[in-house]
Structure 1
Amino acid sequence: MTDLLGPRLKVGVVVPSTNTSAQPEMDALRPVGVTNHTGRMVINDDSMTDEPGFDHVMHSIRNSTHPAIESVVSCDPDVVIIGVSPESYWDGPGSHARVLESMRSAAGGRPVTMSPDAIKAALTAYGARRIGVITPYLPLGDDSVSRFFKDSGYDVVGIQGLGMPSPAKISHVTEEQLRDAVREVDGPDVEAIVQVGTNVPMVRFATAAEAWTGKPVISNNAVLYWHALRSSGIEDQVHGFGSLLARH
């Protein structure tokens, strides 16, 4: 027998407890017969304005990620999305395989989707190598993200942080700030714009930005959900949320 509401796919989604954007955005992306089930990494809304504060947030995320995954897998999801970005980028591409394997182990061997793999798959689908990157962070965080993409073989033409001071405050970003960030990292040499940070509510704005930039604008929550669907054999075209879900 299968789950009555989720006969096609059950998606586990793990996010920091301060995150108020990933859950509603991913719920809006669900095809018929797919359900989402959210677990939360319990962290405080600590300052990220300096290196000690940022390190403390990272330490809290690392300590709470596996318990959050374990809280989700008891409902037996088919795939688990790890909806947090810093853990994916801080130690560079060389450590990603180790991090991914630890997440899979906590998920009982289930398939796991993380931002680096999802973004790489999307950029491959678009044939893009020269990118502009938007982050939620101050320069302290931007440097690590930029280095990760460069070390992964991408040409980071521009990077712009939204300068949000704490994990919960990331969701307070305005559309004007998002617009300015897109314009800052866009340029004639940019083939795609990538936004990292799952508490940035950018799915709908990215869709609009594609219309006036004329190029892919990949929001973190949309690309994570797209990757989870496609890697699970769900090929539905989901319209109204950008070209990635509608055409790839």
Structure 2
Amino acid sequence: MKDVLGYRAKFGVLGPSTNTIVQPEFDEMRPAGVTNHYSRIVIENAKAVSNDSFMAGTKMIDEGTEEAVRGVLTCAPDYLVMGMSAVTFYGGAKGAEAWKKRIETFSGLRISMGSESLIAAMEAIGGIKKVAFLSPYFPVANKEVENYLSDYGYETVRDIPLQRPSWLSIAETPFSMSRDTVKKLDSDDVDAIIQVGTNLCMARLAPKLELELGKPVIAINTSTYWHALRAYGITDKVSGFGRLLEEF
């Protein structure tokens, strides 16, 4: 028997309990017959006021991931999706692969995560070698993203860490700030602009900027959900979120 709503796939989505953006953005991208089941990694609203405190906060999220996996497994999901991106970049390509293997071994399921989804997205779009990116992170975490991208041959021309002061404040980032930051990043010397940090709301804004700038603007939640759908064999095109879900 099939789940009456998730008759094509039930996705177990893992994310921090303070994250209020992943769940609604993923649900907006959901094709008929696919359901998302958000499992919260319980944390407090950490005040990320320095490089050290930001990294410590993300480590706590990492340490709580397996408990969230245990919770979502009770609804018998078919596939897992990581709704927190920072830890999936740590340690470069090898660190990300080790993290993925750990979660897949623990759960017995495959998982899509932000870091690998960005690489897959850029490969699908093609013609991308030099990038710029924004994040709600602090500089130390941006460096981890840059190192990860370099492992796959992508050069980071420039990046801007917004240094949001708490986990909740990331979701409170006004669209005007994100838009202005993308404009600061853009120049003829970059082929694409990337946004990381899953609690930063960009899924609807990115395609608008993509049209304005005439180059790919890839939002982390869009690339992650696109990757999950395609990895699970669901090829539906979804409009309103840019080229990834509309063309690839």
Fold similarity call, TM over 0.5: yes
Which deviates more from structure 2 when the two are superposed, residues 115-124 or residues 86-95?
86-95
Q: Deviations over 1:94-143 (max 9, x none)?
A: 21111100110222x21100112111110001111211111112323222
Which deviates more from structure 2 when the two are superposed, residues 47-56 or residues 1-10?
47-56
Separation in 2, partners of 1:47, 1:150: 30
Instruction: Give structure 2 stretches of 5+ with no counterpart.
Output: none
Separation in 2, partners of 1:33, 1:12: 14
Separation in 1, partners of 2:139, 2:98: 26
Number of aligned residues: 247
Separation in 2, partners of 1:99, 1:116: 11
Answering whether residue 124 of structure 2 is matched by residue 125 of structure 1, we say yes
Provide the secondary structure at the position in 2 that maps to 1:15.
strand
How far is the alpha carbon of 1:189 from its aligned partner?
2.2
How far is the alpha carbon of 1:217 from its aligned partner?
0.9
Match of 2:168 in 1: 168
Match of 1:186 in 2: 186
Match of 1:150 in 2: 150
Q: Deviations over 1:66-92 (max 9, x none)?
A: 000111111111110011112112222
Provide the secondary structure at the position in 1 that maps to 2:75.
coil
Aligned amino acid, residue 236 of structure 1: D
Separation in 1, partners of 2:202, 2:191: 19
Aligned amino acid, residue 40 of structure 1: R
Matches within 5 A, 1:46-65: 46-65=46-65
Which deviates more from structure 2 when the two are superposed, residues 44-53 or residues 109-118?
44-53
Aligned amino acid, residue 117 of structure 2: A
Separation in 1, partners of 2:57, 2:125: 33
Separation in 1, partners of 2:173, 2:197: 12
Percentage of pairs with the same residue? 38
Which deviates more from structure 2 when the two are superposed, residues 185-194 or residues 140-149?
140-149
Answering whether residue 14 of structure 2 is matched by residue 25 of structure 1, we say no
How far is the alpha carbon of 1:7 from its aligned partner?
0.6
Q: Which runs of 4+ in 1 moved over 6 A?
A: none
Q: Is the 8 A contact 1:131 1:157 kept in 2?
A: yes
Separation in 2, partners of 1:243, 1:105: 33
Provide the secondary structure at the position in 1 that maps to 2:204.
helix
Match of 1:134 in 2: 134
Matches within 5 A, 1:212-231: 212-231=212-231
How far is the alpha carbon of 1:160 from its aligned partner?
1.2
Aligned amino acid, residue 121 of structure 1: A
Aligned amino acid, residue 152 of structure 2: S
Q: Is the 8 A contact 1:162 1:177 kept in 2?
A: no
Which deviates more from structure 2 when the two are superposed, residues 132-141 or residues 212-221?
132-141
Q: Is the 8 A contact 1:158 1:186 kept in 2?
A: no
Separation in 2, partners of 1:106, 1:17: 21
Separation in 2, partners of 1:58, 1:212: 33
Separation in 2, partners of 1:102, 1:227: 19
How far is the alpha carbon of 1:56 from its aligned partner?
2.4
Answering whether residue 111 of structure 2 is matched by residue 112 of structure 1, we say yes
Provide the secondary structure at the position in 2 that maps to 1:74.
helix
Separation in 2, partners of 1:81, 1:143: 24
Separation in 1, partners of 2:58, 2:154: 25
Separation in 1, partners of 2:56, 2:194: 26
Provide the secondary structure at the position in 1 that maps to 2:97.
helix
Separation in 1, partners of 2:192, 2:51: 30
Aligned amino acid, residue 89 of structure 2: Y
TM-score by length of 2: 0.96
Q: Is the 8 A contact 2:49 2:166 kept in 1?
A: yes
